[in-house]
Copies of this chain bind each other. A is one copy, B any other.
Amino acid sequence: MQRPSARTADQLRDITLEAGVSLHAEGSCLARFGNTHVLCTASVEDRVPSFLRNTGKGWVTAEYGMLPRSTHSRTDREAARGKQGGRTLEIQRLIGRALRSVTDLTALGEHQIKLDCDVIQADGGTRTAAITGAWVALRIACEKLLLSGAISRQPMSDQVAALSCGVWQGMAVADLDYAEDSTAEVDANFVLSADRGLVEIQATGEDRPFTRTELNQMLDLADAGCGQLFEMQMKAVRGSF
């Protein structure tokens, strides 16, 4: 049975990671996973949250948002509603955790880096695109801190990338677009480190419970797919200097 996107089970969408797209940000990356476009910027600040003051340690945090018409039908603007929804908070907590897991906060010194991941256009997999792109922006910002002498060693201890996988019509598939995601029986997001360690797994049986076999098939897809993403990330970072 063919996927709605006509891709093979392990085939990723056309993916580009374009660094240096922002005039002002210390690091930036426009991550395009097919029609999903997420603008990731890294902003370096000289002050850390109060719980870290005078500890010599830094902090990395993330915020996530969607433009109102990034979605198929318009979504109300969270600023106008007066609060961020549960899904938004959940995603930005995930992005922050993922990035901190590969950051040496002591090497960062008392700097805070905020990653803003804003979805310009959505077609499934925005959170995994955000993590993948935010790593590029963060890495570039760290390089600049190093180059400027503000810090003396690289705080990024590893790479992280993320991929959404799922079970669609009984078949494990990688990098679902919206049409696939909304009809999948199982929906999962995997965050991996460059050596294929598992940083975070979020897997949900939307229609029915899933099996360990299905989990393992999805893990295999995430493993292979993130391998491609890690290469693209390094290429984007290198290309920006």
New A-B pairs, 8, CB < 8 Å, besides A80-B84, A90-B90, A101-B206 = A23-B123, A41-B67, A79-B79, A89-B89, A101-B209, A188-B201, A192-B209, A201-B215
State the Cβ distance, A161 to closest chain B Cβ, in Å: 12
A219 at interface (Cβ–Cβ under 8 A)? yes
Select A204's contact among B63, B79, B89, B97, beta carbons within 8 Å: B97
Chain A interface category by residue count? 35 or more
A79-B79, A79-B84, A101-B209 given as contacts; is B23 within 8 A of A121 (CB)?
Answer: yes
Q: List, sorted by A's number, 6 A–B pairs whose CB atoms are closer than 8 Å.
A: A23-B35, A24-B72, A78-B79, A86-B92, A193-B209, A198-B211
Of the candidates A79, A120, A123, A212, the one having the most CB atoms from chain B within 10 angstroms of its own CB is: A79
Query: What 8 pairs between A and B have smallest CB-CB spacing?
Result: A197-B209, A86-B89, A78-B79, A41-B69, A43-B74, A79-B79, A201-B203, A193-B209
Contacts of A200 in B (CB 8 A): 203-205
Tell me the bound Cα distance from A78 to B24 in angstroms: 19
Let me know if B114 and A74 touch, CB within 8 A. Answer: yes
A5 at interface (Cβ–Cβ under 8 A)? no
| CB interface residues, A 26-76, toward B, < 8 Å | 28, 35, 39, 41, 43, 45, 63, 65, 67-74
Tell me the bound Cα distance from A130 to B234 in angstroms: 36
Let me know if A199 and B205 touch, CB within 8 A. Answer: yes
Contacts of A201 in B (CB 8 A): 188, 201-203, 215
Contacts of A43 in B (CB 8 A): 68-69, 73-74
Task: Find the B residue at minimum CB distance from A198.
Answer: B210
Contacts of A79 in B (CB 8 A): 65, 77-79, 83-84, 88
Of the candidates A24, A121, A209, the one having the most CB atoms from chain B within 10 angstroms of its own CB is: A209
